[in-house]
Amino acid sequence: MQITPEALDILCPMHLLIGPSGQITHAGPTIQKLRRARAITGQRFLDVFTINRPHTMMSVSDLRRATNVKLHLEMRDPPKTALKGIMTPLGSAQDDLILNLSFGISILDGVRDYHLTNADFAATDLAIEMLYLIEAKTAAMEASRRLNLRLQNAKVTAEKQAFTDTLTGLSNRRAMDVALMRLISKDASFAVMHVDLDYFKAVNDTLGHAAGDMVLQTVARVMVEETRETDTVARVGGDEFTLILPGVRDDDTLRRIGNRIIERLQEPVYFQGHACHISASIGTVRVHADQSRSAQDLLSDADLALYASKHAGRARHTFYTPDLRRTFETGEAKNDRGRQPV
């Protein structure tokens, strides 16, 4: 059986014939496009290509031993296109070799670098399907990526909304819970400050909800101004606020912050010419590092201190102490009214 070079060009447009002395005696039409400056035919094969695997080859005898195994080659000239190939003796003389090449994984670079078209590949070659798949998958991936980005943004916005009190822009109870749990799990030292407005109901009742809302917004601004960026200021109820202050070193600092807040909240807020007077009662509990208290206990302690402030005549700031709880519990038992902390 004799196969003509023309038939080989059609079946394997990327093949080479190598003569007995290692010269390229024929190159398929697509391979010819890989070297435009100089005709590939007539050159020594090893001057045009390097074989990297299975091992480096220097001579024609090396080449002859590299038949029937997968070869990894590279063009010597830039852009040093990587190719894979398989070589086998042609005919019975064993002198001539035929080498069939393919771009393998570097197909995309290949078609770009050499401006190849459908016609440069054998009809049975999967190269075009490969390029189609690369493009199709890239397009689909890009569409998915954009969708993910939009969903991610929507999620961030929704989360932000879910953790924000819409009226004041402060954190809400959910955000406060998260901040508290985070500090507890880190065994950090921090303080929890419960702030409850005094006389707020009177503002609402006499001047209406719009006035009340304005007061709450002013209160929020004051508390943000009197605390640090790292503190959490949350509105946890109608006129109840919780401040979480990580890393506070001493009671004096907390006392100062609390007193400043009370002081500033007592400055009247004007609503349509009417002065709104409020104040605040505060209960604070400090947690030392590695004290491991539950969130529930902490909030209950802060409530108790707040209750003591209210009880002592409002506009006060009370620190929680175990004594406070003992006094409270005996007091509760004595008058047996089942009073709950505020």
Partner 1 sequence: MSAARAAGLETADFEAMLTYEDELTPRILDGIAQVLERPRSEIMEDLGTYLVSHPDFEPARRLLRFGGVDFEDFLHSLDDLPDRARLAVSDLILPHLELRKHAKGQFSLICEPSIAGYSHVVMGVLRVMADDYGTLAMLESSGCGHGIESLSIRVVEASYAQGRDFRLGAQAG
Catalytic, 177? Answer no
Give the nearer residue to partner 1 in terms of CB position, either 130 or 188.
130
116 binds partner 1 (CB under 8 A): yes
Among 76, 137, 326, 339, binds partner 1 (CB under 8 A): 137
Q: Rounded CA gap, 207 and 202, in Å?
A: 8
Region of 298 (left: φ > 0; alpha: ψ -120 to 50; beta: rest) is alpha
10 binds partner 1 (CB under 8 A): no
Give the length of the chain: 342
Give the nearer residue to partner 1 in terms of CB position, either 69 or 151.
151
Q: List the structure tokens of 82.
A: 């990587």
Of 45-53, 115-123, 230-238, 249-257: span binding partner 1 (CB under 8 A): 115-123
Of 68-76, 106-114, 169-177, 191-199: span binding partner 1 (CB under 8 A): 106-114
Q: How far is the CB of 144 from partner 1 (least distance, A)?
A: 5
| Secondary structure of residue 342 in the 3-state scheme | coil
The number of C-alpha atoms within 13 Å of 116 and in the hemisphere containing its C-beta is 27
Q: DSSP secondary structure string, 307-331? A: HHHHHTTSS-EEE--HHHHHHHHHH
Among 7, 147, 167, 275, binds partner 1 (CB under 8 A): 147
Give the nearer residue to partner 1 in terms of CB position, either 134 or 210.
134
Q: Find the angle CA(178)-CA(183)-CA(186) to the nearest 5 degrees.
A: 125
76 contact partners, CB below 8 Å, separation of at least 6: 47, 48, 49, 50
138 binds partner 1 (CB under 8 A): yes
Q: Are residues 281 and 216 in contact, defined by beta-carbon separation less than 8 angstroms?
A: no
Of 26-34, 41-49, 143-151, 308-316: span binding partner 1 (CB under 8 A): 143-151
69 binds partner 1 (CB under 8 A): no
Of 126-134, 175-183, 206-214, 256-264: span binding partner 1 (CB under 8 A): 126-134
Among 58, 140, 162, 181, binds partner 1 (CB under 8 A): 140
Q: Rounded CA gap, 14 and 30, in Å?
A: 5
Q: How far is the CB of 103 from partner 1 (least distance, A)?
A: 11
Is the preceding peptide bond at 89 cis, omega within 30 degrees of 0?
A: no
Number of residues that bind partner 1 (CB under 8 A): 25
- Report the largest interatomic distance among the alpha carbons of the chain, rounded to a whole angstrom: 117
Among 52, 59, 94, 118, binds partner 1 (CB under 8 A): 118
- Amino acid occupying residue 328: F
Q: Are residues 284 and 317 in contact, defined by beta-carbon separation less than 8 angstroms?
A: yes
Q: How far is the CB of 105 from partner 1 (least distance, A)?
A: 13
1 binds partner 1 (CB under 8 A): no
Q: How far is the CB of 126 from partner 1 (least distance, A)?
A: 12
36 binds partner 1 (CB under 8 A): no
Q: Are residues 172 and 234 in contact, defined by beta-carbon separation less than 8 angstroms?
A: yes
Q: Rounded CA gap, 245 and 254, in Å?
A: 9
Give the nearer residue to partner 1 in terms of CB position, either 139 or 202.
139
Q: List the structure tokens of 235.
A: 């509105």
Q: List the structure tokens of 107.
A: 């197909």
Of 116-124, 255-263, 301-309, 319-327: span binding partner 1 (CB under 8 A): 116-124
Residues 196, 198, 239, 303: which is the catalytic one?
239
Q: Are residues 107 and 127 in contact, defined by beta-carbon separation less than 8 angstroms?
A: yes
Place of tokens 């990327």: 14
Among 105, 134, 178, 289, binds partner 1 (CB under 8 A): 134
| Chain residues that interact with partner 1, rule: CB under 8 A | 107-108, 111-112, 115-119, 128, 131-140, 142-144, 147, 150
Q: Which residues carry out catalysis?
A: 239
